[in-house]
Amino acid sequence: MPAARPSAPDALAAAATSSLILVHDPLSRAVAPDYWDWSADAHHGAAHALTAIDDDRVRSSTARLADDPADATAAAHLTAALTDLLRRPEGADTALDALRAAAARTESLSRLIVQPGPPAAPAAVAAPDTAELLAALARKPHRAGHPVDAAVVIPFRAPDDATGRVRNLAAVLNALADQSHPRERYRVVVVESDERPRWRELFADACDTYLFAPDPGRFNKSWTVNVGVVHGARPAELVCVLDGDILVDRDFVARAVERFQRPGTQAHWPFEDMLFLDPASSARAVRTRCLDAAPDPGPDRLRGVHLRRPPGGCVWLREDLFTRIGGMDERFCGWGGEDQDFVWRAERYGPMDRHRDPIVHLHHDRAAHRGDDGTPFYEEVERAGFCSWPCDSDFGRLDR
pLDDT of residue 375: 63
Would you place residue 4 in the very low, low, confident or very high pLDDT band (cuts 50, 70, 90)? confident
Domain range annotation of the chain: 9-114, 130-382
What confidence score (pLDDT) does residue 95 get? 95
Amino acid at 29: R
Q: Show the CA angle centred on residue 55, arms to residues 50 and 59, nearest 5°.
A: 55
Output the pTM of the full model: 0.93
pLDDT of residue 333: 86
- CB 341: neighbour CB atoms within 10 A? 23
Give the pairing of strands 238-242 and 150-156: parallel
Task: State yes or no: pLDDT of 52 exceeds 90.
Answer: yes
255-265 tens-digit pLDDT = 999 999 999 99
Quote the pLDDT of residue 316: 98
pLDDT score recorded for residue 279: 93
Of the given ranges (140-149, 190-199, 351-360, 365-374), which has the lowest mean pLDDT?
365-374
- Crossing angle between the packed helical segments 279-286 and 163-177, to the nearest 10 degrees: 30
Q: Identify the CATH homologous superfamily for domain 130-382.
A: Spore Coat Polysaccharide Biosynthesis Protein SpsA; Chain A (3.90.550.10)
Q: What percent of the chain has pLDDT over 70?
A: 94
Contacts of 17 (CB under 8 A, 6+ apart): 65, 75, 78, 79, 82, 114, 116
- Give the span between the Cα atoms of 285 and 271, in whole angstroms: 17
What's the confidence (pLDDT) of residue 334? Answer: 78
